[in-house]
Structure 1
């Protein structure tokens, strides 16, 4: 199933497959999400879904059950 993914605040939209890793989707869209440990411990890659759920992009994938998601990216000057 295809899901429309929009990365905010840049408003970049790309189509992705359910289960596709979020870091891979971002990379295809030309977006660099900072990473650290790549295991979800350091939270360098933390993103926020528009619904208010925070998650680590390195261990998360495109969820099922929706046709679109909005991912909010915040710059982290510490990484």
Structure 2
């Protein structure tokens, strides 16, 4: 089975490609995107991003498989961070 690359559109308009299952923080770093972090254990929420409208905590999440092979990332708005 061939693994399809996922195209990611970042908040600054750039795009990158990765395989599903890769850590979000690593994918962002590779693309030159800085995702704020706090505890790095998923508790504090500092690393929340929106992926196709769904909020995920980047420090404990991986890039999912998707039928369209495209994901749009936005930074989640949190008044406390």
> Considering the TM-score relative to the shorter chain, is it more than 0.5?
yes
Which residue in 1 is equivalent to 2:34? 32
Which residue in 2 is equivalent to 1:62? 63
CA RMSD of aligned residues (A): 1.7
Structure number with higher strand proportion: 1
TM-score, normalising length from structure 2?
0.84
Which residue in 2 is equivalent to 1:6? 9
Aligned residues: 77
Structure 1's unaligned 5+ residue stretches are none
Q: CA deviation at 1:40?
A: 0.5
> Could you list the runs of 4 or more consecutive aligned residues of structure 1 that deviate by over 3 angstroms after TM superposition?
74-79
Match runs of 1:16-31 below 5 Å = 16-31=18-33
